[in-house]
Amino acid sequence: MYTDILINATPYENRIALVDSGNLLEFYLERPAEQGLVGNIYCGKVVRVLPGMQAAFVDIGLERAGFLYVDDVLISSGELERRINIHDQPFNQLVSSAEIRPTPTTTQPSIDNLLVEGQQVLVQISKEPIGTKGARLTCHITLPCRNLVFMPLTDHIGISRKIEDEDVRVKLREKIENLRPRGTGFIVRTVAEQCTEAELEADMEFLLLLWDDIRSNCGKVAAPSLVYKDLDMILRSVRDLFTDDVRELVVDSRAVYERLLTFMQTFAPELKNKITHYERDAPLFEAYGIEVDINRALDKKVWLRSGGYIIIETTEALSVIDVNTGRYVGKRDQAETIFKTNMEAVKEIAYQLRLRNIGGIIIVDFIDMENEEHREELFLTFQDAIKKDKNRINILKISEFGLVQMTRKRSLENLTQMMCEPCMYCEGEGMVKSRRTICYEIFRKITRDAPKVSAKKVYIKVHPHVADMLLEEETQYIELLQKETGKQFIIIPVRDSHISRYELSWDE
């Protein structure tokens, strides 16, 4: 087993592939015209407070205002006072997101007790704008580095759940406790499991200086303004994905190669020798077979090795995955066939969720299984299959109908949203009218207009496929209508016409 990171960098588009033993695991895409915003920090202005939704709209200078939930605002006056004492007063009048005012005697204050229209707040984008929705915002600022994530406004120490050795967790916690300024928070990342105290201190010093710069910038700008821009996708992915477990990082751009060497010299000099500049004639992603995998990841139907398949449908509200036996008929009985298909599908589903970056609410419709033991084994296998996924996932037990309800944390658009757009013909419905439906629309239109027109001939211009149906399967109705209307129908195939378009013209 080995892991590679492949970077295809061009002036118009950057693409990153995380490859495990030749299989594409994760894919990231960034275009200068559609550059990602997650991690950016803004000085924003509250434009509307919505007590009924416990949220507020905040203008951060983008096309659409961002959305700030009450849970992402500081939640109590006591907490506000504590945080204001951490840093200098003028800055925290901005950062604390709310004036200290009396709050209701409940566990969580109302949004209108925390924010007022026209107020300036320091916010960070936690989720990209998706579809018609603005960016999701938070006042709980986080600044990631190689080994640590800094939370300047949170008094907390966290250790990555993937660091399982309890002794190591205790030691890391003690190191951070000894180093951190009072009242600040840090999360120790997985890559820091074997870090020395000196390495942690270097990361911490860098993050504290970065936070000081952000604070300084806040006092120099008027809302709405960008005060901190996160690393671009290439450096961000290298920071987060390039670990000792990676065999090789291959990049096809000389300029980006030099830039990565400089970046890694600062953050992880021991990994510099794993960076390779790709110079062969064949395009990088084609040489590694990645282009084929990317195109397959856009298909709705995914075939399983047994002959079964899954269908993946994504809507604005949720994603639905349907499991089918397809060509697989099994060898023993129906229950065994269904169980094997479901077991194969569950691993493929876990893989596809990660590859396509599908987030939000997800419904999986497995083939119904009456055997309770089979349902339990399938559920445990699903839980095991998603362990490698870095995004937070919650799964409910399989229902009697074979449905699994789950959520996967969403911060970016999924692969289809990034690479596709609604069909100009079907307006994103994924369906167009059938040929027979179009034929009958034409019949109704002729029946309606024929009495009003003295012309004896009707010219029907249609797509060739519709023309074939009119001249073959619908011939009897054509003849019937000609007798009823007293008109002669002349069918003209138009090769460049859209299949659902037609044109009727009348002539003597």
Regarding whether 196 and 255 lie in a shared domain, the answer is no
Regarding whether 7 and 46 lie in a shared domain, the answer is no
Regarding whether 105 and 128 lie in a shared domain, the answer is yes
Regarding whether 105 and 213 lie in a shared domain, the answer is yes
Regarding whether 191 and 77 lie in a shared domain, the answer is yes
Does the pLDDT value for residue 83 go beyond 80?
no
User: Residue 90: its pLDDT value, please?
Assistant: 33
Q: Quick check: is 420 in a domain?
A: no
Does the pLDDT value for residue 473 go beyond 80?
yes
Phi–psi pair at 145, nearest 5 degrees: -130, -170
Q: Please name the amino acid found at residue 88.
A: D
User: Residue 433: its pLDDT value, please?
Assistant: 86
| Three-class DSSP category at 308 | coil
Q: Quick check: is 452 in a domain?
A: yes
The total domain count for the chain is: 4
Q: Which of 89-98, 205-214, 415-424 has the highest mean pLDDT?
A: 205-214
Regarding whether 344 and 275 lie in a shared domain, the answer is no
Q: Quick check: is 427 in a domain?
A: no
State pTM to two decimals.
0.75
User: Residue 379: its pLDDT value, please?
Assistant: 92
Last residue of a domain, one of 272, 292, 312: 292
Q: Which two tokens stand for residue 486?
A: 């007293």
Instruction: Report the Cα–Cα distance between both ends of the chain, in Å, rounded.
Output: 76
Regarding whether 27 and 95 lie in a shared domain, the answer is no
Q: Give percent of the chain with pLDDT exceeding 90.
A: 43
Q: Quick check: is 45 in a domain?
A: yes
Last residue of a domain, one of 199, 228, 257: 228
Q: Which two tokens stand for residue 306?
A: 């047994």
User: Residue 254: its pLDDT value, please?
Assistant: 94
User: Residue 420: its pLDDT value, please?
Assistant: 83
User: Residue 342: its pLDDT value, please?
Assistant: 92
pLDDT digits (tens, 9 = 90+) for 186-236: 999 988 888 888 888 888 998 999 999 888 888 788 889 999 988 888 998
Residue 1 — pLDDT band, cuts 50, 70, 90?
low
CATH code of 474's domain: 3.40.1260.20
Determine the Cα–Cα distance for residues 277 and 170; give it in Å rounded to an integer: 40
Q: Which strands sit side by side in the sheet containing 275-277, from one edge to the other?
A: 23-30, 14-20, 3-9, 246-251, 275-277
Residue 113 — pLDDT band, cuts 50, 70, 90?
confident
Q: Is the peptide bond before 224 cis (omega within 30 degrees of 0)?
A: yes
Q: Quick check: is 421 in a domain?
A: no
Q: Quick check: is 139 in a domain?
A: yes
Residue 12 — pLDDT band, cuts 50, 70, 90?
confident
CATH code of 240's domain: 3.30.420.60
User: Residue 110: its pLDDT value, please?
Assistant: 86
Regarding whether 84 and 217 lie in a shared domain, the answer is yes
User: Residue 6: its pLDDT value, please?
Assistant: 96
Q: Quick check: is 130 in a domain?
A: yes
User: Residue 104: its pLDDT value, please?
Assistant: 39
Residue 401 — pLDDT band, cuts 50, 70, 90?
confident
| Three-class DSSP category at 320 | strand
Q: Quick check: is 320 in a domain?
A: yes
Residue 80 — pLDDT band, cuts 50, 70, 90?
very low
Regarding whether 94 and 22 lie in a shared domain, the answer is no
Last residue of a domain, one of 277, 292, 307: 292
User: Residue 73: its pLDDT value, please?
Assistant: 87
Regarding whether 217 and 278 lie in a shared domain, the answer is no
User: Residue 138: its pLDDT value, please?
Assistant: 93
Residue 108 — pLDDT band, cuts 50, 70, 90?
low
Regarding whether 55 and 23 lie in a shared domain, the answer is no
Regarding whether 319 and 272 lie in a shared domain, the answer is no
Q: Which domain holds residue 272?
A: 3-35+232-292
User: Residue 93: its pLDDT value, please?
Assistant: 36
User: Residue 42: its pLDDT value, please?
Assistant: 93
Sign of CA dihedral 248, 254, 257, 262: positive
- DSSP states along 102-171: ---SSSS--GGGT--TT-EEEEEEEE--BTTB--EEESS--EE-SSEEEETT---EEE-TT---HHHHHH
- Write down the H helix ranges in 13-85: 77-84
User: Residue 504: its pLDDT value, please?
Assistant: 93
Does the pLDDT value for residue 503 go beyond 90?
yes
